[in-house]
């Protein structure tokens, strides 16, 4: 509204004092010419080829809203869907030594559930030695902890974990131990085996603490 009725439309340029000889009759012709020229240019841009989308419509089609991403305590979270108050871990500072993934995280007054550890989230964190996985996590992505060769302690706090993707814990410390709820031992060991962490369940059972 300000752009149409402000200084530009009714200011000094359009309705101010004019020098002798430059009356309205002289300016009207110029205005008409400018308007018709502007209209012609607009028609040329938007209607040059009816079969081809205009420049402006193409920009609208390609523009995408980026997902909400924020960092707390060296851990970076990303909203999974704009319509859901749920996030996943997508990155961790490479100097982090001990990380605790909470069940919920608050950002700018909004509380989000942490439901996933994303693909490659901890990839190559050479100093990481201990990680606690929150109660709401249901998925651990492929190679999430790949190459964390000092990682010796993994604690599963929750009972909702349903998927551990390929090589999530590959190339971690040889003496790594997993701590998990007693009622979920069989399920979690099966998930670890499917992720190609180990071939023999007995090998995993020796590495599991229960609570």
Partners of 87 in the β-ladder = 79, 114
pTM for the predicted model, two decimal places? 0.67
Judge contact between 140 and 115, C-beta under 8 A.
no
Please state, in angstroms and as integers, the Cα–Cα distance from residue 53 to each residue in 38, 65, 77, following that order. Answer: 20, 21, 37
Q: Taking the chain, what is the end-to-end CA distance rounded to the nearest angstrom?
A: 65
- pLDDT string in tens for the chain (211-residue length): 454 444 444 445 444 454 544 545 445 444 444 444 444 444 444 445 555 555 555 555 555 678 899 999 999 999 998 888 999 999 999 899 999 999 999 999 999 999 999 999 999 899 999 999 999 999 999 999 999 999 999 999 999 999 999 999 999 998 899 999 999 999 999 999 889 765 445 556 667 777 6
Residue 59 has a CB neighbour count (10 Å cut-off) of: 10
Residue 7 has a CB neighbour count (10 Å cut-off) of: 11
């Amino acid at each position: 509204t300000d752009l149409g009725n402000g200084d530009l439309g009714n200011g000094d340029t359009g309705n101010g004092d004019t020098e002798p000889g430059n009356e309205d009759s002289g300016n009207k012709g110029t205005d008409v010419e400018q308007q018709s020229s502007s209209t012609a240019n607009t028609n040329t841009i938007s209607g040059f080829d009816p079969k081809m989308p205009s420049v402006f419509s193409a920009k609208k089609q390609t523009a995408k809203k980026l997902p909400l991403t924020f960092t707390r305590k060296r851990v970076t979270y990303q909203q999974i869907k704009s319509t859901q108050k749920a996030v996943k871990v997508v990155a961790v500072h490479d100097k982090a030594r001990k990380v605790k993934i909470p069940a919920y995280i608050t950002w700018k007054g909004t509380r989000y559930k942490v439901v996933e550890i994303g693909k490659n989230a901890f990839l190559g964190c050479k100093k990481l030695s201990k990680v606690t996985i929150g109660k709401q996590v249901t998925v651990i992505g492929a190679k999430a902890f790949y190459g964390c060769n000092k990682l010796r302690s993994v604690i599963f706090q929750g009972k909702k974990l349903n998927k551990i993707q390929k090589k999530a814990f590959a190339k971690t410390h040889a003496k790594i131990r997993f701590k998990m709820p007693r009622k979920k031992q069989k399920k979690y060991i099966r998930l670890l085996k499917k992720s190609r962490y180990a071939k023999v369940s007995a090998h995993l059972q020796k590495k599991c603490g229960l609570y």
